Amino acid sequence: MEVYLTVPASGGGSLSILELVFEADLIVQMVLLMLIGMSLVSWAIIVQKFFRLRAASRQSARFLDAFWSSKRLDAVYEKVPQFRKSPVAEVFKAGYQELAKVTQGGKSDDATDNLTRTLRRAAAVESTGLQSYITFLATTGSTAPFIGLFGTVWGIMRAFSKLQGAGAATIQVVGPDIAHALIATAVGLAAAIPAVIAFNFFNSTIRVLNTEMDNFSADFLNIVKRHVR
Protein backbone atom coordinates (compact mmCIF):
# COMPACT_ATOMS: atom_id res chain seq x y z
CA MET A 1 0.00 0.00 0.00
CA GLU A 2 1.54 3.29 -1.12
CA VAL A 3 1.09 6.61 0.63
CA TYR A 4 0.58 9.59 -1.65
CA LEU A 5 1.32 13.23 -1.04
CA THR A 6 -0.67 15.97 -2.67
CA VAL A 7 2.25 17.05 -4.80
CA PRO A 8 1.45 17.15 -8.50
CA ALA A 9 4.01 15.62 -10.82
CA SER A 10 5.22 17.47 -13.86
CA GLY A 11 3.10 15.25 -16.09
CA GLY A 12 0.04 15.22 -13.85
CA GLY A 13 -1.03 12.81 -11.12
CA SER A 14 0.52 12.47 -7.69
CA LEU A 15 3.92 11.35 -6.52
CA SER A 16 4.27 8.67 -3.87
CA ILE A 17 6.82 9.03 -1.08
CA LEU A 18 9.09 6.43 -2.66
CA GLU A 19 8.96 8.22 -5.98
CA LEU A 20 9.84 11.48 -4.29
CA VAL A 21 12.83 9.85 -2.61
CA PHE A 22 14.10 8.30 -5.84
CA GLU A 23 13.63 11.56 -7.74
CA ALA A 24 15.45 13.63 -5.11
CA ASP A 25 18.92 14.92 -5.83
CA LEU A 26 22.05 13.18 -4.56
CA ILE A 27 22.47 15.36 -1.46
CA VAL A 28 18.94 14.72 -0.20
CA GLN A 29 19.25 11.00 -0.94
CA MET A 30 22.51 10.83 1.04
CA VAL A 31 20.84 12.61 3.96
CA LEU A 32 17.91 10.20 3.89
CA LEU A 33 20.20 7.18 3.60
CA MET A 34 22.24 8.36 6.59
CA LEU A 35 19.13 8.94 8.70
CA ILE A 36 17.65 5.57 7.79
CA GLY A 37 20.93 3.86 8.68
CA MET A 38 21.08 5.65 12.05
CA SER A 39 17.47 4.69 12.73
CA LEU A 40 18.07 1.01 11.93
CA VAL A 41 21.15 0.86 14.17
CA SER A 42 19.26 2.65 16.94
CA TRP A 43 16.40 0.17 16.80
CA ALA A 44 18.84 -2.75 16.90
CA ILE A 45 20.44 -1.26 20.02
CA ILE A 46 17.04 -0.54 21.57
CA VAL A 47 15.85 -4.13 21.15
CA GLN A 48 19.12 -5.63 22.38
CA LYS A 49 19.41 -3.32 25.39
CA PHE A 50 15.78 -3.71 26.37
CA PHE A 51 16.08 -7.46 26.79
CA ARG A 52 19.57 -7.19 28.32
CA LEU A 53 18.56 -4.68 30.98
CA ARG A 54 15.28 -6.41 31.72
CA ALA A 55 17.14 -9.68 32.33
CA ALA A 56 19.73 -7.84 34.45
CA SER A 57 17.05 -6.26 36.64
CA ARG A 58 15.10 -9.48 37.12
CA GLN A 59 18.10 -11.67 37.81
CA SER A 60 19.60 -9.10 40.18
CA ALA A 61 16.40 -9.09 42.23
CA ARG A 62 16.40 -12.90 42.32
CA PHE A 63 20.07 -13.00 43.28
CA LEU A 64 19.60 -10.56 46.15
CA ASP A 65 16.75 -12.68 47.47
CA ALA A 66 18.96 -15.76 47.29
CA PHE A 67 21.87 -13.96 48.93
CA TRP A 68 19.97 -12.65 51.91
CA SER A 69 18.07 -15.89 52.43
CA SER A 70 21.29 -17.94 52.57
CA LYS A 71 23.50 -18.27 55.62
CA ARG A 72 26.69 -19.32 53.81
CA LEU A 73 28.65 -17.42 51.18
CA ASP A 74 29.88 -20.60 49.51
CA ALA A 75 26.27 -21.71 49.02
CA VAL A 76 25.51 -18.39 47.33
CA TYR A 77 28.62 -18.73 45.16
CA GLU A 78 27.41 -22.08 43.89
CA LYS A 79 24.21 -20.43 42.67
CA VAL A 80 25.99 -17.62 40.76
CA PRO A 81 25.85 -19.44 37.37
CA GLN A 82 22.08 -19.17 37.57
CA PHE A 83 22.37 -15.35 37.46
CA ARG A 84 24.90 -14.77 34.69
CA LYS A 85 23.12 -11.67 33.42
CA SER A 86 22.96 -10.06 36.85
CA PRO A 87 25.61 -7.38 37.43
CA VAL A 88 25.14 -7.71 41.19
CA ALA A 89 25.87 -11.43 41.00
CA GLU A 90 29.02 -10.73 38.98
CA VAL A 91 30.18 -8.24 41.60
CA PHE A 92 29.63 -10.86 44.31
CA LYS A 93 31.49 -13.46 42.23
CA ALA A 94 34.53 -11.21 41.88
CA GLY A 95 34.43 -10.30 45.57
CA TYR A 96 34.07 -13.89 46.75
CA GLN A 97 36.96 -15.08 44.58
CA GLU A 98 39.20 -12.30 45.91
CA LEU A 99 38.15 -13.07 49.47
CA ALA A 100 39.01 -16.74 48.96
CA LYS A 101 42.48 -15.83 47.65
CA VAL A 102 43.21 -13.51 50.54
CA THR A 103 42.02 -15.85 53.26
CA GLN A 104 43.83 -18.83 51.75
CA GLY A 105 47.03 -16.80 51.68
CA GLY A 106 46.69 -16.02 55.37
CA LYS A 107 46.49 -12.26 54.81
CA SER A 108 43.24 -11.55 56.57
CA ASP A 109 44.41 -8.07 57.57
CA ASP A 110 44.45 -7.02 53.90
CA ALA A 111 41.14 -8.70 53.11
CA THR A 112 38.94 -5.62 53.38
CA ASP A 113 41.26 -3.35 51.41
CA ASN A 114 41.73 -5.83 48.59
CA LEU A 115 38.06 -6.69 48.60
CA THR A 116 37.10 -3.01 48.40
CA ARG A 117 39.24 -2.49 45.31
CA THR A 118 37.97 -5.70 43.72
CA LEU A 119 34.32 -4.84 44.28
CA ARG A 120 34.82 -1.32 42.97
CA ARG A 121 36.61 -2.61 39.87
CA ALA A 122 33.97 -5.28 39.21
CA ALA A 123 31.14 -2.76 39.58
CA ALA A 124 32.89 -0.41 37.15
CA VAL A 125 33.28 -3.20 34.59
CA GLU A 126 29.62 -4.18 34.88
CA SER A 127 28.49 -0.56 34.64
CA THR A 128 30.56 -0.05 31.51
CA GLY A 129 29.00 -3.13 29.95
CA LEU A 130 25.50 -1.94 30.75
CA GLN A 131 26.18 1.46 29.19
CA SER A 132 27.75 0.11 26.02
CA TYR A 133 26.22 1.37 22.76
CA ILE A 134 23.62 3.61 24.39
CA THR A 135 25.79 6.63 23.61
CA PHE A 136 24.87 6.00 19.98
CA LEU A 137 21.24 6.60 20.95
CA ALA A 138 22.19 9.95 22.47
CA THR A 139 24.16 10.82 19.33
CA THR A 140 21.22 9.90 17.11
CA GLY A 141 18.77 11.84 19.24
CA SER A 142 20.89 14.99 19.18
CA THR A 143 22.15 14.96 15.58
CA ALA A 144 19.37 13.35 13.51
CA PRO A 145 17.07 16.42 13.62
CA PHE A 146 19.93 18.64 12.44
CA ILE A 147 20.86 16.23 9.65
CA GLY A 148 17.22 16.25 8.59
CA LEU A 149 17.22 20.04 8.83
CA PHE A 150 20.20 20.16 6.50
CA GLY A 151 18.22 18.15 3.94
CA THR A 152 15.30 20.52 4.44
CA VAL A 153 17.41 23.60 3.89
CA TRP A 154 18.98 22.04 0.80
CA GLY A 155 15.57 21.22 -0.67
CA ILE A 156 14.28 24.74 -0.02
CA MET A 157 17.39 26.19 -1.64
CA ARG A 158 16.78 24.09 -4.75
CA ALA A 159 13.15 25.22 -4.82
CA PHE A 160 14.14 28.90 -4.72
CA SER A 161 16.79 28.28 -7.34
CA LYS A 162 14.16 26.87 -9.68
CA LEU A 163 11.87 29.81 -8.94
CA GLN A 164 14.58 32.20 -10.00
CA GLY A 165 14.91 30.54 -13.39
CA ALA A 166 11.19 29.90 -13.95
CA GLY A 167 8.86 32.34 -15.58
CA ALA A 168 6.05 31.72 -13.10
CA ALA A 169 6.02 30.40 -9.54
CA THR A 170 3.86 27.28 -9.77
CA ILE A 171 3.51 24.28 -7.50
CA GLN A 172 4.69 22.07 -10.34
CA VAL A 173 8.05 23.86 -10.23
CA VAL A 174 8.77 23.94 -6.49
CA GLY A 175 6.49 21.19 -5.17
CA PRO A 176 8.85 18.20 -5.52
CA ASP A 177 11.82 19.98 -3.90
CA ILE A 178 9.67 21.18 -1.00
CA ALA A 179 8.37 17.63 -0.57
CA HIS A 180 11.95 16.33 -0.49
CA ALA A 181 12.75 18.88 2.19
CA LEU A 182 9.78 17.88 4.33
CA ILE A 183 10.60 14.18 3.99
CA ALA A 184 14.13 14.82 5.27
CA THR A 185 12.71 16.61 8.31
CA ALA A 186 10.22 13.83 9.00
CA VAL A 187 12.82 11.08 8.72
CA GLY A 188 15.17 13.00 11.01
CA LEU A 189 12.50 13.30 13.69
CA ALA A 190 11.46 9.67 13.25
CA ALA A 191 15.04 8.61 13.92
CA ALA A 192 15.61 10.97 16.85
CA ILE A 193 12.44 10.59 18.93
CA PRO A 194 12.67 6.83 19.67
CA ALA A 195 16.41 7.15 20.32
CA VAL A 196 15.91 9.90 22.92
CA ILE A 197 13.09 8.05 24.68
CA ALA A 198 15.08 4.81 24.80
CA PHE A 199 18.24 6.59 25.97
CA ASN A 200 16.46 8.18 28.92
CA PHE A 201 14.71 4.93 29.84
CA PHE A 202 17.91 2.88 29.68
CA ASN A 203 19.86 5.47 31.66
CA SER A 204 17.24 5.34 34.41
CA THR A 205 17.43 1.53 34.54
CA ILE A 206 21.23 1.58 34.60
CA ARG A 207 21.25 4.08 37.48
CA VAL A 208 19.07 1.71 39.50
CA LEU A 209 21.41 -1.21 38.76
CA ASN A 210 24.46 0.89 39.68
CA THR A 211 22.81 1.80 42.97
CA GLU A 212 22.09 -1.87 43.65
CA MET A 213 25.74 -2.77 43.00
CA ASP A 214 26.98 0.00 45.29
CA ASN A 215 24.61 -0.98 48.08
CA PHE A 216 25.48 -4.65 47.74
CA SER A 217 29.20 -3.90 47.78
CA ALA A 218 28.82 -1.94 51.00
CA ASP A 219 26.75 -4.71 52.62
CA PHE A 220 29.18 -7.40 51.49
CA LEU A 221 32.11 -5.47 52.91
CA ASN A 222 30.33 -5.11 56.25
CA ILE A 223 29.75 -8.87 56.36
CA VAL A 224 33.42 -9.55 55.65
CA LYS A 225 34.58 -7.01 58.27
CA ARG A 226 32.42 -8.65 60.93
CA HIS A 227 33.81 -12.05 59.93
CA VAL A 228 37.44 -10.84 60.09
CA ARG A 229 36.92 -9.28 63.48
Q: According to the model, what pLDDT value does residue 27 have? A: 80
Q: For 40-92, what is each residue's pLDDT tens digit?
A: 999 999 999 999 999 999 999 999 999 999 888 889 999 999 999 999 999 99
Query: Which of 11-15, 141-145, 165-169 comes out lowest in average pLDDT?
Result: 11-15
What one-letter code names the amino acid at 41?
V
Question: Which positions ≥6 away from 80 have C-beta within 8 Å?
Answer: 63, 89, 92, 93
Q: What percent of the chain has pLDDT over 90?
A: 52
Q: What percent of the chain has pLDDT over 70?
A: 78
- Mean pLDDT, to the nearest integer, of 200-216? 95
Residue 3 buriedness (CB in 10 A; 0-12 / 13-18 / 19+): exposed
Question: Which positions ≥6 away from 198 have C-beta within 8 Å?
Answer: 42, 45, 46, 49, 50, 134, 137
111: phi then psi, degrees, rounded to nearest 5: -60, -45
Q: How far is CA 6 from CA 29, 120, 170, 182, in A?
A: 21, 60, 14, 13
* 140 or 168, higher pLDDT: 140
Q: According to the model, what pLDDT value does residue 74 have? A: 87
Instruction: Look over the chain and give the mean of its residue pLDDT values, rounded to a whole number.
Output: 83
Q: Which band of pLDDT confidence, cut at 50, 70 and 90, is reported for residue 95?
A: very high
The yes-or-no verdict on residue 17 having pLDDT over 70 is no
Residue-range domain boundaries for the chain:
4-9+27-228
Q: For 121-163, what is each residue's pLDDT tens digit?
A: 999 999 999 999 999 999 999 999 999 888 888 878 777 776 6
Q: According to the model, what pLDDT value does residue 10 have? A: 46
Measured over the CA atoms of residue 203, residue 57, residue 209 and residue 100, the dihedral's sign is negative
Distance of CA 88 to the CA centre of its chain: 21
Query: Which of 51-55, 202-206, 220-224 comes out lowest in average pLDDT?
Result: 220-224
| Angle at CA of residue 172, ends 171 and 176, nearest 5° | 90
Question: Can you name the residues that pair with 8 across neighbouring β-strands?
Answer: 14
- Mean pLDDT, to the nearest integer, of 210-227? 89
